[in-house]
């Protein structure tokens, strides 16, 4: 069995035991599958946690007490070798929703007693049979909206419970042809070269057309929203985003990989930029902020067709002096 397939098997076993575990037994499951020095990176207000016990006590147990009868609804699952050479390693990516009954408060978000979806994506580094690093990114503002809260002003694109790939083929449990992953990663790399530096002499729509299909779908986070076609993406997100920022740093990632027609990356942070023209209905601050992002892509033929985005907007605005979570819920960090 290849390193990637072995890593997939470990992560799938981990998910199966985690999702069926009692709240009390969660620390034991994490300790079984993860290294003792596990480094876990999560969105605001969690940030970096070290060790299985801290991850269990600070994230998973409170979440599972609140979102009961939880189901993991996977849309994308793939693995590969990290294309960022100075980090390296074998990584497994999964994306989808954690669905359950929102029966108790979490982080001050009031329960609804109804179904709720926590949109998430995770990258796991696997070495010597253990998960040693995890990037667990999740759309907390989306859960807030489901609870009737309004963390942000009206967004430029659409607010949705986001589906998986149009092709319904994102669960790559079996090995994929190596050449397809190479093509996907090369397409992602070309897109980063075209768009990641904001320095092309082309129009935005012409830039996008080099690596994106015209009927692309950009599944963005709550606060920005989802948008469809190059023309609407340029109008409803990319154009306003570029207009709102200056001094964008170079792109830097901790993992960038692909398998089959799927690929993605994450950074901690991916880049920094200065809000100088207003963003998300909030005024410019002139203060550089970090963007922690996961991007997942589906390639079709020689261009990108779909893109799922996770951006830690709560962290970004907290750096600008606005604690959106506390302001919206009236409760501080980790209070339930």
Pairing of strands 271-275, 245-246: antiparallel
Q: How many helices (H) and strands (E) does the chain have?
A: 11, 15
Residue 65 makes CB contacts below 8 A (sequence gap 6+) with 23, 104, 106, 336
Cα atoms in the Cβ-side hemisphere of radius 13 Å centred on 43: 27
CATH topology (fold) of 3-164: Nuclear Transport Factor 2; Chain: A, (3.10.450)
Give the pTM. Answer: 0.95
Per-residue pLDDT of the chain (336 residues; tens, 9 = 90+): 899 999 999 999 999 999 999 999 999 999 999 999 999 999 999 999 999 999 999 999 999 999 999 999 999 999 999 999 999 999 999 999 999 999 999 999 999 999 999 999 999 999 999 999 999 999 999 999 999 999 998 877 878 889 999 999 999 999 999 999 999 999 999 999 877 556 667 899 999 999 999 999 999 999 999 999 999 999 999 999 888 998 889 889 999 999 999 999 999 999 999 999 888 888 889 999 999 999 999 999 999 999 999 999 999 999 999 999 999 998 654 444
| Tokens 């986070």, residue located | 221
Instruction: Report whether CATH 3.40.50.880 matches the domain 178-328.
Output: no
Q: CATH 3.10.450.50 in the chain: give the residue spans.
A: 3-164, 178-328
Dist CA 310 CA 297 (whole Å): 12
């Amino acid at each position: 069995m290849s390193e990637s397939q072995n890593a997939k098997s470990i992560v799938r076993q981990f998910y199966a035991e985690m999702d069926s575990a009692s709240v009390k037994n969660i620390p034991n499951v994490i300790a079984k599958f993860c290294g003792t020095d596990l480094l876990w990176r999560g969105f605001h207000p969690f940030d970096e946690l070290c060790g299985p016990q801290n991850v269990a006590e600070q994230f998973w147990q409170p979440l599972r007490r609140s979102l009961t009868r939880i189901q993991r609804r996977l849309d994308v699952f793939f693995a590969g070798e990290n294309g960022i050479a100075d980090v390296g390693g074998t990584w497994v990516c999964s994306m989808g929703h954690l669905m359950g009954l929102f029966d108790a408060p979490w982080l001050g978000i009031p329960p609804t007693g109804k179904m709720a979806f926590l949109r998430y994506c995770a990258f796991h580094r696997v070495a010597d049979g253990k998960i040693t690093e995890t990037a667990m990114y999740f759309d907390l503002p989306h859960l807030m909206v489901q609870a009737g809260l309004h963390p942000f002003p009206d967004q430029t694109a659409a607010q949705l419970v986001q589906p998986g790939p149009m092709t319904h083929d994102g669960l790559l449990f079996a090995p994929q042809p190596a050449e397809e992953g190479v093509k996907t990663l090369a397409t992602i790399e070309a897109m980063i070269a075209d768009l990641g530096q904001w320095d092309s002499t082309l129009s935005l729509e012409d830039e996008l057309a080099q690596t994106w299909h015209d009927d692309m779908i950009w599944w963005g986070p709550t606060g920005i929203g989802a948008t469809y076609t190059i023309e609407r993406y340029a109008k409803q997100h990319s154009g306003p985003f570029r207009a709102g920022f200056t001094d964008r740093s170079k792109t830097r990632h901790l993992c960038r990989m692909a398998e089959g027609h799927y690929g993605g990356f994450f950074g901690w942070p991916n880049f920094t930029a200065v809000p100088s023209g207003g963003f998300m209905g909030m005024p410019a601050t002139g203060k550089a902020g970090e963007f922690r992002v996961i991007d997942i892509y589906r390639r079709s033929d020689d261009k990108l067709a779909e893109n799922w985005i996770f951006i830690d907007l709560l962290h970004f605005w907290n750096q600008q002096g606005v604690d959106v979570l506390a302001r919206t819920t009236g409760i501080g960090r980790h209070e339930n």
